[in-house]
A and B are shown apart, each in its own frame.
Chain A
Amino acid sequence: MTPASELSGDAFLLDLNGIRKHLGGRRVLDNVSLSVSPGELVVLLGPNGAGKTTLLGTACGRIAPDAGDARLSGGNPRRDVGVRQSLGFVPQQVALYPYLSVRENLEVFGRMMGVAKEALNARIEEALAWSGLEDRVGDRVDTLSGGMQRRLNIVASVLHKPTLVMLDEPTVGVDVNARERIHELLRRLRADGLGILLTTHDLLQATTLADRVVFLVAGQVRLEGAPDELIHQVFGEHKEITITLAELPGSDQHQRLADAGLSPVHDGRTWTGSVDHGYDGVADWNHRLADMNLHAAEIRVREPSLEGVFLRLTGEALVL
């Protein structure tokens, strides 16, 4: 898929600056800035209620910010309706007509998104081949597997060749294989130069896919950067260790764990930090816990994760 319009190399497809929004007396977005460039895949991470959906709504012009500026392909998505042609939005639900066939759905949504009648067939053939759905073209959508429906959900939003695609939880409820096929679709879109902004709860997905992750918590951007850089910044060459204790530590033990460089997660039974001896750190920590009169229910050493990054940089546990 080739983007419909050519943008200058450094132009942002999406540029949100200082967005603030109150809904029902509650501050939902607080001075949020975020941008997406062509060929960039940005993952927006955050727990439920963090403001992700409101931010997407602002980005595509559905929600008017109380303050701040939203630019989509250089225009105001609320006022300049034409700029929305550059956007493909993939909702969290399978937003398709279940009683229509794959082709019929693509025809309907292609026309709705402004694809000319003459160009539609060629676009559909191209999209079907690209998404691996050509064998199911005549089948009703409600007979497709969950993974296929999810893929079609994406295809239906890019038939008009947008330059930016926003996806709200695109892999909810699909198995590992189907998720990998969706990741492959997204990588291909990125390779074609499209900018991609997706929200997810899946940290592994964010780590493997994202050029940049943005952590949104309680309406604020808490942390932002490339996953590898963030991980390297926090852990260096170290591994991440997570210790789940058999019992809650006392205040003295709590202090000793903190002094040893660990941070508590959730209720204080789980602690995380970095270890510099690789997987040998397990035995080392087993001894140190014994010295503190603590018993481990589980000690896990692994490659550092974004969850650990978030915890170490913000001091807060990321509950997704």
Chain B
Amino acid sequence: MSLAIFRAMLLGLLRDRGALLMSFFLPAVFFVIMAEIFTATTGDSLNLKVAVLDEVESDASTRLLGALQDNGTLTMLPELGSSRDEVRAWVKSGVADIGLIIRADAEPLESAGGFGAAPLLVVVDPSRGVAEPMLTGQIRRAYFSSLPDVAMGNVVAELENQFLTLDDEQREEVDAGLIEMREDAAAGRDVGWSFEDLLARESVIGGESVNLVAYSAGAVAFMFLLFASVHGAVSLLEEEETGILDRVLAGPGGIGVLVNGKFLYVVGQGMVQVTVIFTVAWLVYGVDLPGHLGPWLVISLAASIACAGLAMLLATACATRRQAQTVANTVILVLSALGGSMVPRFLMPDVLKDLGWLTPNTWALEAYSGVFWRGESLLEVALPVALLAAAGILGWLAARMLAHRKAYGG
């Protein structure tokens, strides 16, 4: 008897293409995407794009950059320009993951002792926080393996500077230095020489912890916007099953009334949903929502329109509610994985990063991150916003066409 049930279940699965897709194909696709991302994250294949500016162009700086170039995990972008602002701009816009400036107005790389400005300035975007330890790690490796003479020279210079005093005058200097170091240590200040003296850090934007919350707010909001939109849109199929569609189709408004009404509802629902998520981000995590209210409103409206349009298209393209839910789960999970709603896009290999540009998730994240992290104006994020709105409106128009064809036979 149990085998009979087993057989019925098996036949049901085999004859339900949607369920088959969900059960076997989707997990495989999803696994491939996530495996690619995590392999790239934890292995050597995560390729950081580094914007470099060498203001010194000394033997040591050239050798350091050469060693970094050779190690395979970094892509040193071609010289981007001659100014620090250009490096900052490239990092801020995301063209480069991180920036490295070898400064002329600092201690020389060969004799950095922590008494002046550090020669290496790392320019970071907090939304890609993992890039910083990766780059500094690579610099450390390159520094000690490729520039041992420079490293040792610094140590010797340090010894000579502070400890090898033979005459009285030198002794007094050492004593004074030691007293000073003791005082520094007592006061909690860094003392002595270390690799870190070579490095300084600069963020292209302020309020780093808030930025990361803003990223997750945008990412989570858009993914759930997609789910909620599909849930709202598939009620169209429910109405087909319950006969409500028949009643409406016989009336003067026809199918357009239903599709338009649902589209408006789903857009409104999306706006409320995004508002709730960003309000929590504002009240609990201090994301500056009031400061970006106008652009946020426009981006959220465009994102809601995109989700509503795509959801309506999906609902009208599918024959049954079950099929629509199955396809929607597949599409949303893949879009969200590729588009950066689950794992930050920065962690993805280039292929997936490029594919991400085909997803509305990426457009929404680019628009939100432009405004909330990079402090860009609405005009500067006009392209992703326009893409979102266009996708939504095209989806809505296509849904109307499909629904009309289904209802009236073309």
Selected interface stretch from B195-203, B239-247, B310-318, B321-329:
B239-247
Q: Are A93 and B257 in contact (CB under 8 A)?
A: no
Q: Write the chain A residue with the least CB distance to B253.
A: A112
Q: Are B252 and A84 in contact (CB under 8 A)?
A: yes
A113 close to chain B: CB less than 8 A: yes
A231 close to chain B: CB less than 8 A: no
Q: Are A97 and B252 in contact (CB under 8 A)?
A: no
Q: Which of B246, B251, B407, B409 is within 8 Å of A84, CB to CB? A: B251
Please measure, in the bound complex, the distance between the C-alpha atom of A49 and the C-alpha atom of B244, giving whole angstroms. Answer: 22
Please measure, in the bound complex, the distance between the C-alpha atom of A81 and the C-alpha atom of B409, giving whole angstroms. Answer: 15
Q: How far is the CB of A103 from chain B (nearest CB, A)?
A: 17
Q: Which of B242, B243, B253, B410 is within 8 Å of A114, CB to CB? A: B253
Selected interface stretch from A61-69, A181-189, A213-221, A258-266:
A61-69
What string of 1s and 0s marks CB contacts (under 8 Å) between A82-107 and chain B? 10110111111111110000000000
Q: How far is the CB of B403 from chain A (nearest CB, A)?
A: 12
Q: Are A112 and B408 in contact (CB under 8 A)?
A: no
B117 close to chain A: CB less than 8 A: no
Name the prevailing secondary structure of the B interface residues. Answer: helix
* A60-B249 contact given A78-B408, A112-B257, CB 8 Å threshold: yes
Please measure, in the bound complex, the distance between the C-alpha atom of A157 and the C-alpha atom of B248, giving whole angstroms. Answer: 9
A44 close to chain B: CB less than 8 A: no
**Which of A63, A93, A168 has the most chain B CB within a 10 Å cutoff?**
A93
What string of 1s and 0s marks CB contacts (under 8 Å) between B243-273 and chain A? 1101111111110010000000000000000
Please indicate the chain B residues that have their CB under 8 angstroms from the CB of A93 in the complex. 241-243
Q: How far is the CB of B364 from chain A (nearest CB, A)?
A: 32
Q: Which of B250, B257, B409, B410 is within 8 Å of A60, CB to CB? A: B250
Please indicate the chain A residues that have their CB under 8 angstroms from the CB of B242 in the complex. 93-96
Please measure, in the bound complex, the distance between the C-alpha atom of A112 and the C-alpha atom of B389, giving whole angstroms. Answer: 27
Q: Are A114 and B251 in contact (CB under 8 A)?
A: yes
Please indicate the chain A residues that have their CB under 8 angstroms from the CB of B244 in the complex. 91, 95-97
Q: Are B247 and A157 in contact (CB under 8 A)?
A: yes
Please measure, in the bound complex, the distance between the C-alpha atom of A156 and the C-alpha atom of B251, giving whole angstroms. Answer: 12
Q: Which of A78, A85, A94, A96 is within 8 Å of B251, CB to CB? A: A85
Q: How far is the CB of B250 from chain A (nearest CB, A)?
A: 3
Please indicate the chain A residues that have their CB under 8 angstroms from the CB of B410 in the complex. 64
Please measure, in the bound complex, the distance between the C-alpha atom of A1 and the C-alpha atom of B244, giving whole angstroms. Answer: 23
Please measure, in the bound complex, the distance between the C-alpha atom of A83 and the C-alpha atom of B409, giving whole angstroms. Answer: 19
* A84-B257 contact given A93-B243, A95-B242, CB 8 Å threshold: no
Please measure, in the bound complex, the distance between the C-alpha atom of A58 and the C-alpha atom of B398, giving whole angstroms. Answer: 25
Please measure, in the bound complex, the distance between the C-alpha atom of A249 and the C-alpha atom of B247, giving whole angstroms. Answer: 50
Q: Write the chain A residue with the least CB distance to B408.
A: A62
Q: How far is the CB of B316 from chain A (nearest CB, A)?
A: 16
From residue 375 to 410 of chain B, which have CB atoms closer than 8 A to chain A?
Answer: 407-410
Q: Are B247 and A84 in contact (CB under 8 A)?
A: no
A285 close to chain B: CB less than 8 A: no
A234 close to chain B: CB less than 8 A: no
Q: Which of B241, B243, B409 is within 8 Å of A64, CB to CB? A: B409
Q: Are A166 and B250 in contact (CB under 8 A)?
A: yes
Please indicate the chain A residues that have their CB under 8 angstroms from the CB of B243 in the complex. 91-95
Please measure, in the bound complex, the distance between the C-alpha atom of A82 and the C-alpha atom of B254, giving whole angstroms. Answer: 10
Q: Write the chain B residue with the least CB distance to A93.
A: B243
A109 close to chain B: CB less than 8 A: yes
Q: How far is the CB of B259 from chain A (nearest CB, A)?
A: 13
From residue 146 to 188 of chain B, which have CB atoms closer than 8 A to chain A?
Answer: none
Q: Which of B241, B253, B409 is within 8 Å of A63, CB to CB? A: B409
Please indicate the chain A residues that have their CB under 8 angstroms from the CB of B241 in the complex. 93
Please measure, in the bound complex, the distance between the C-alpha atom of A135 and the C-alpha atom of B248, giving whole angstroms. Answer: 27
What string of 1s and 0s marks CB contacts (under 8 Å) between A62-80 and chain B? 1110000000000000100
Please measure, in the bound complex, the distance between the C-alpha atom of A91 and the C-alpha atom of B240, giving whole angstroms. Answer: 11
Q: Are B252 and A114 in contact (CB under 8 A)?
A: yes
Please measure, in the bound complex, the distance between the C-alpha atom of A97 and the C-alpha atom of B408, giving whole angstroms. Answer: 23
Please indicate the chain A residues that have their CB under 8 angstroms from the CB of B249 in the complex. 60, 62, 89
Q: Which of B247, B257, B407 is within 8 Å of A156, CB to CB? A: B247
Q: How far is the CB of B244 from chain A (nearest CB, A)?
A: 4
Please indicate the chain B residues that have their CB under 8 angstroms from the CB of A166 in the complex. 250
Q: Which of A81, A95, A160 is within 8 Å of B254, CB to CB? A: A81
Q: Are B247 and A109 in contact (CB under 8 A)?
A: yes
* A91-B252 contact given A61-B408, A62-B408, CB 8 Å threshold: no
Q: How far is the CB of B262 from chain A (nearest CB, A)?
A: 12
Please measure, in the bound complex, the distance between the C-alpha atom of A160 and the C-alpha atom of B247, giving whole angstroms. Answer: 13
Q: How far is the CB of B98 from chain A (nearest CB, A)?
A: 53
Please measure, in the bound complex, the distance between the C-alpha atom of A63 and the C-alpha atom of B407, giving whole angstroms. Answer: 8
Please indicate the chain A residues that have their CB under 8 angstroms from the CB of B247 in the complex. 89-91, 95, 109, 156-157
Q: Write the chain A residue with the least CB distance to B248.
A: A112
* A64-B251 contact given A91-B243, A92-B243, CB 8 Å threshold: no
Q: How far is the CB of B243 from chain A (nearest CB, A)?
A: 3
What string of 1s and 0s marks CB contacts (under 8 Å) between B203-242 and chain A? 0000000000000000000000000000000000000011
Please measure, in the bound complex, the distance between the C-alpha atom of A112 and the C-alpha atom of B409, giving whole angstroms. Answer: 22
15 A-B Cβ contacts within 8 A? A62-B249, A62-B407, A64-B409, A85-B251, A85-B252, A89-B247, A89-B249, A91-B243, A91-B244, A93-B242, A94-B242, A112-B248, A112-B251, A113-B252, A160-B251
Shortest 6 CB-CB contacts between residues of A and residues of B? A89-B250, A91-B243, A93-B243, A95-B243, A60-B250, A91-B246
Task: Taking A84-B252, A95-B242 as given, write out 10 further A-B residue pairs in contact, using a Cβ cutoff of 8 Å, ordered by the A residue number.
Answer: A60-B249, A62-B250, A63-B408, A64-B410, A84-B251, A84-B254, A89-B251, A92-B243, A95-B246, A109-B247
Interface residues of A (CB under 8 A from B): 60-64, 78, 81-82, 84-85, 87-97, 109, 112-114, 156-157, 160, 166, 168
Interface residues of B (CB under 8 A from A): 241-244, 246-254, 257, 407-410
